[in-house]
Structure 1
Amino acid sequence: MMTDKVSETIRRYDLISEGESVLVGLSGGADSVCLLLCLKDLGYDVSAFHVNHNLRGDESIRDKNFCIALCERLGIKIYTADIDVTGYCEKNHVSVEEGARELRYKELMSIGADKIATAHNINDCLETTVFNLARGTGLKGLCSIPPKRDNIIRPLIECTREEIEGYLAEKGQDFVTDSTNLEDEYTRNKIRHKVIPVLMEINSSLYSSYSATRAHLTDDELYLDSCAEEKLSQAYITDKTYDAKALRQCGLLTPRVVAKLLAQNGISVSALRINNTSDIIKNGGKLNICGDILISCDKGVLKISSLAKEETPKVEMPVSAVPGVYDFFGKSVSLERRDDIVFSKGIHREYNGYIIDKDKLCGGLTLRNRRNGDKIALAGRGFTSRLKVLFNESVPKEERERVAVLCDDEGIICVEGFGVDERVKVDENTRSIIIIAIS
């Protein structure tokens, strides 16, 4: 049974904890509709978000209306957003697929749900593996799409598209079809319509065989990644400074360690940059690795530095009143207080913004942009993250100094686009909250 398989996937990979709210990225296609229905049937606190990419004219409007009507019938709260993918891609020089994905995840993150569920399935994983293999990849690329990344989860990751459509047929639930999925213009569609059918002719049990192989590869990837993390931490001296000798002693792990070093310092990873950086580590010298970033190695010390440029000023303003509205780099940051709150599992869906327990605050509030060494223990994650690493993964470089950070006297309590700190999250004892809305 489909719900049993999804429930087992959630359990195996610890995707959702008791009481957590789940926001489903709902396109209206079979995969996302199936995900929404499964999570609702399993009793989770679920809401939906539909993003209109404005790429397919009337068809985009049809999809949006379908999603709204579906959620109204199911009694599920739905958020919607209209985004200009074409304009974003032209400005940032990225492909339509990449630009749409970046904007879509940014919108999903803005709601502040405990978990964000996307409808990737095993078919998507196989297509991604083939795509990565064709263009060149390492072990991580062969592993394809992970079951979870931070608070993004994929409960359908072990289900086939055939199982998904069978489940919807049994329930008599219709869905919409993206006409671009039927074309061969995009690389992924070429793999789906031309390559996968040939592989199925070779092995009719392709998906079960691939699933087992992927599991083995993922175990190896996780082990090697933990080794690389340990080696890099041993070489760490101070921010952006590393012991070159320790890096050279990583042996066969060196390319993986260098890739992690680049990623943690906001540098897009490529085979060329890994090789160039490795040469610098081994032989010394310096290199403008990309943009305004300089990598140099002298007297056994590797440094990553920025070339001189105009920097965004450091902004720090006291929050003198709640309720209140504050201008932050052209954005409006509003804080509103609500008392006599009755906690429920769906409390995050009742308010438009991030919510924190007022009684857990320490001292006064300050609104500012990021600082070196900033960290936050995002609610529900179970670990502390450096803002630098979070931003490098999902925030465009030119926007990083303009992300709103709210602090009290003990530290960071909320970060725009990511959520609130575990220390101030609401719980069953919460009676007074502050709602933080950023627009």
Structure 2
Amino acid sequence: MLANLQEHLYKTLPFLKEKKLLVAVSGGIDSIVLLELLKQLNYNISIAHCNFSLRGIESDGDEQFIRDYAHKNNIEIFVTRFDTMHFATDNKLSIQIAARKLRYVWFSQLLEENNLDYLLTAHHLDDSIETFLINFIRGTGLEGLTGIPQQNDRVIRPLLPFTRSEIEMYAKVNNILWREDSSNASDKYLRNKLRHDVVPVLKSLNPAFADSFLQTIANLQQSQSLVNDAAILVYQQLVSEHEGQKHINIEQLKRLPNYKAYLYQWLNAFGFTAWNDIYDLLEAQSGKQVLSANYRLLKNREVLLLEALKPLDKEVYEIGEGVTEINKPFTIKLEMVNEISTYSTKKVIFVNNNLIKFPLFVRKWQEGDYFYPLGMNGQKKKVSKYFKDEKMSLSEKENTWLLCSENQVVWIVGKRADERFKTKDTTNQIVKIEVL
């Protein structure tokens, strides 16, 4: 196995030889064998061990075993302890997900703080098979069937071509000691049930199952690459970007025979899971939306609009008398002028200082707000009706602010001024209000 790993690293990961490597070590057979192999090949390695405090004295025994190993072999070691149960409860996560989040955040910090280049984990071929089966059972797209990748940014898995039996054989022949995690014997977790009950059956049906799986994964990865290329090409034709939003042209999208597949490729990375609801958006009324944890996909007339969710700003910002500038929620400048030099209802308005009452307020619009649009001869209009007439999207409405004098709307900021506060030829106190 040592020679095979050396050849594998030389062919696919030659850059590791001159790098400083952090090896994630639990104390189990996989990570200990990885350590031994890298040590034999004279790689520059450090150890990172997480004590998740889940198995009492057994977890503490794992930690001490790793500390002793590092000391005996003169290898730099980093150790941390997590209250994993508490973290999982507070964040409403499973123990496995909580442990994963905790350790990878810590690993990333270690890389940055200690000027280390890559994190190496001991995932192997059987882990990749189990991940494939878990994704298959739960339902997934093509990318979920491509196995565990050899590299994700700075995380590298050098043992992926090797089976668990090869690792066990190497440990036995070389008299390597390791710690056995008692939780691995339990079928409480799906991965363990697959490991104990399903994978052995597959291997009995096909003695060359591991080799067949590797070939299948290689084929699927090539197919995924083709899908990615096609998704990028079509994306460039159908999707435009505007101020942090992505606009997907619905009419053009529906002309594609496989439009659902394209939507999946474009949106999967944004955490969406309600795919039938997303596909239904194409025929839904304008204003319908589907949410993920951090993003929103909104039907807005002829486009699907994708944007990051923002916390609702319910604050009211005050502009006191004599104030010439505020910078929240955006920059507004006020200036006393003698005449109207330019006029734009988009970025600049001029109002009669005698008609406004300080302090002025900047706030989000609310249902029931109304104003008298400038140039409409004193006709009253609901702000919501104005939005509808202007064909504004839900996102645009949510990001619209009002400048108010007491309870009266002076300006739908950046859009339309109110008739009641306009200047006349006889006005001798003019306030120029500009939004930047």
| TM-score in same-fold range (> 0.5) | yes
Whether the 8 Å CA contact 1:13–1:147 is kept in 2: the answer is no
Taking the aligned partners of 1:215 and 1:161, their CA distance within structure 2 comes to: 20
Unpaired stretches in structure 1, ≥5 consecutive residues: 312-439
Give the whole-Å Cα distance in 2 for the aligned partners of 1:199 and 1:222: 27
- SS of residue matched to 1:109: helix
* Distance change in 2, residues 1:249/1:107 (3 Å): same
Q: Which runs of 5 or more residues in structure 2 are unaligned?
A: 315-436
Q: What does residue 243 of structure 1 align with?
A: 248
Q: Deviations over 1:109-156 (max 9, x none)?
A: 111221111111011111111111112122211212111111111000
* 8 Å Cα contact 2:24/2:47 also seen in 1: yes
Are the counterparts in 2 of residues 49 and 79 from structure 1 also a CA contact under 8 Å? yes
**Can you list the C-alpha shifts for 1:37-94, whole angstroms capped at 9, x where unaligned?**
2122222211110001111000000111111111112221110110111111111211
Contact 1:51 1:104 in 2 (8 A): yes
Distance 1:208 1:45, change over 3 A: same
Separation in structure 1 between the aligned mates of residue 254 and residue 199 of structure 2, nearest angstrom: 42
Matched, 1:40 2:42: no
Please say which structure displays the higher CA radius of gyration: 2
By how many angstroms is 1:4 displaced? Answer: 2.5
Query: Could you say if the C-alpha distance between residues 17 and 250 of structure 1 is closer, same or farther in structure 2, counting changes exceeding 3 Å?
Result: farther
2-structure distance, mates of 1:194, 1:226: 38
* Secondary structure of 1:111's aligned partner: helix
Number of equivalences? 307
Give yes or no for contact 2:135–2:144 (8 Å, CA) kept in 1. yes
Partner of 1:108: 107
Output aligned runs, 1:146-185, within 5 Å. Answer: 146-185=149-188
1:294-335 residue CA offsets vs partner (Å, 9 max, x unmatched): 322324332234365259xxxxxxxxxxxxxxxxxxxxxxxx
**Do the aligned residues in 2 keep the contact of 1:242 with 1:303 (CA within 8 Å)?**
yes
Question: Is 1:254 equivalent to 2:259 in the alignment?
Answer: yes
Instruction: Give 1:179 shift.
Output: 0.3
Counterpart CA distance in 1 for 2:252 and 2:154 is 31
Q: Normalized against structure 1, the TM-score is what?
A: 0.65
Identity of aligned residues (%): 29
Q: Secondary structure at the match of 1:294?
A: strand
CA distance in 2, matches of 1:292, 1:183: 35
Aligned residue number for residue 281 of structure 2: 280
Change (3 A) 1:67 1:261: same
Q: Which of 227, 230, 233 matches 2:230? A: 227
Counterpart mapping for 1:318-329 below 5 A: none
Tell me if the contact between 1:22 and 1:115 (Cα under 8 Å) persists in the aligned partners: yes
Does residue 300 (structure 1) correspond to residue 302 (structure 2)? The answer is: yes
Q: Tell me by how many angstroms 1:243 deviates.
A: 3.1
Kindly tell me: are residues 194 and 77 of structure 1, through their superposed partners in 2, closer, same or farther at Cα, counting changes over 3 Å? same
SS of 2:136's partner is helix
Query: Do the aligned residues in 2 keep the contact of 1:296 with 1:302 (CA within 8 Å)?
Result: yes
Aligned match of 2:52: 53
Distance 1:35 1:251, change over 3 A: farther
Output the CA distance in 1 between the equivalents of 2:43 and 2:285: 55
Using the TM superposition, give the Cα deviation of residue 5 of structure 1 relative to its aligned residue in structure 2, in angstroms. 2.2
Task: Write the distance in 1 (CA, Å) between the matches of 2:262 and 2:14.
Answer: 28
**d(CA) in 1 for partners of 2:16 and 2:294?**
42
Tell me, yes or no, if the aligned pair for 1:231 and 1:247 is still in contact at 8 Å.
no
Work out whether residues 55 and 85 of structure 1, in 8 Å CA contact, stay in contact via their aligned partners in 2.
Answer: yes
Alignment CA distance shift 1:7-1:292 (3 Å): closer
The DSSP-based 3-state class of the residue aligned with 2:54 is coil
- Partner of 1:358 in structure 2? none
CA distance in 2, matches of 1:201, 1:141: 25
